[in-house]
Amino acid sequence: VVVTIDGEEHRRAYSIASPVQQPHQVDIVIKRIADGRVSGWLNEHLRAGDTLQVLGPSGTFTLAPDAGQARRLLMVGGGSGITPLMSILQSVLLAEPDSWVVLLYGNRSVEDIIFHEALRRLVKSHAGRLVVRHVLEAPPKGWRGGRGRLDREAFARELDVLLETTALQDITLYQ
How many other CB atoms are found less than 10 A from the CB of residue 14? 20
User: How far is 86 from 119, CA to CA, in rounded Å?
Assistant: 9
Around Cβ 38, how many Cβ atoms within 10 Å? 17
Whether 133 and 154 have beta carbons less than 8 Å apart is answered as: no
Interval 113-169: pLDDT, tens: 999 999 999 999 999 999 999 999 999 999 988 899 999 998 898 888 888 888 888
Evaluate if pTM is beyond 0.95: no
Nearest to 42 by CA among 32, 55, 34: 32
Check the CA dihedral 45-50-78-38 and report its sign: negative
Say how many Å lie between the first and final Cα of the chain, rounded: 23
